[in-house]
Structure 1
């Protein structure tokens, strides 16, 4: 049986290549902008995932969403340590609308999508996001940053999460919608990396 997740991933390979390119030249400014916008994104992601829990019905759905909530909560605490080290505080004027569109789409999925939509979006996105974060972590560590846990927490592996996501996605199967959801979330991912790399 063909994996839904792998079939959808093939549809966004071109976007994933562009996302990988977007972090080829890390800098202090990129790292600061990364943290500034993540201070907005991560709390809103956590709230969106908490809302999504209300849609869970089957045991594997509860497990899947709980894994996501736990992961984001751990990431939030790691982000605060990184922000403190870099002396970055949340300020509305530092938030780039292009950089934070991802979390707005995640909120839309939590409210209006199925758990299948959410499962596809997140397991398609996480490995790509995690790979870029690792590139930034490597640069940050080489430049003396100590608290890089946030940048490494998404590195995977995602075997159990992907197994659960496949089951949930098959239960709500809608390939046309899944492909749209994957393209949308990866486009917003690309927008994030391009925004924090921009000098504008």
Structure 2
């Protein structure tokens, strides 16, 4: 009997659930304890992340073998374009202009996630990557929601400045269902998606390194 995509997704999520204190930066921002310079660094690092992920999603779309998977990755790439525009407003609220974002020297710890996603774009099975990304999106969205709330409450950021985080905190309502349909189709065809667990674990791990690299700058 073919395992359901939903069961596989929930199993991986349970296996990879982190402790509440694993991410050390988000609670600091949520409590107003992170300096504005670190939030500016967050925006600058995300500028590099988003620019890379945009290309990675397009590469995955080109390698996908079904129209549904191609549309999924193309949609993600389009979302990165929207996010990149909103990121400029977040950076401006921290006193950084577009040139400062381009000139920012990225930290290795912050760029592990996009580097691994770029590796997946070349080497990963696109259907397995769909599942791995879906596992990761829930955690990322939760972090973004907490950041948006903290920036409004403690830093006086307005809706425009929080637009980047608001965008990711409220993903397209049917995104997960579309992902599950892609994964289910692959499973029904007999594809082995066991590596999706590894891919999700790596993405989750690199994401935590991203946040905690920035948390180390809070003194």
The alignment status of 1:144 with 2:142, answered yes or no, reads: no
Paired residue total: 199
Match of 1:109 among 93, 98, 120: 120
Secondary structure at 1:90's aligned position in 2? helix
Written as runs of structure 1 = structure 2, the 5 A alignment for 1:80-99 is 80-88=88-96, 89-90=100-101, 94-99=105-110
Does structure 1 residue 23 correspond to structure 2 residue 20?
Answer: no
* 1:46 and 1:72 in contact (8 A); partners too: yes
1:87 is paired with a residue whose SS is coil
- 1:113 deviation in Å? 0.5
Using structure 2 for the length normalisation, give the TM-score.
0.82
Asked if residue 174 in structure 1 is aligned to residue 185 in structure 2, the reply is no
TM-score by length of 1: 0.89
Rounded to whole Å, the distance in 2 between the matches of 1:195 and 1:113 is 26
Aligned to 1:190: 208
String of CA shifts for 1:4-32, please: whole Å, max 9, x gaps: 21121111013x64545541111223312
1:70 is the counterpart of 2:43: no
**Alpha carbons 2:39, 2:94 under 8 Å: kept:** no
Distance in structure 2 (CA, Å) of the matches to 1:177 and 1:134: 29
Gaps of 5+ in 2: none
| Match 2:146 to one of 118, 123, 135 | 135
Change (3 A) 1:87 1:197: same
The answer to whether the 8 Å contact 1:43/1:76 transfers is yes
- Compared CA separation, residues 114 and 51, structure 1 to 2 (3 A): same
Assess if the C-alpha contact under 8 Å between 2:127 and 2:193 holds in 1: no
* Per-residue Cα deviation, 1:84-111 (whole angstroms, up to 9, x for no partner): 3323222555411101100001101111
Are 2:217 and 1:199 aligned? yes
Q: Contact between 1:22 and 1:190, CA under 8 Å: does it hold in 2? A: no
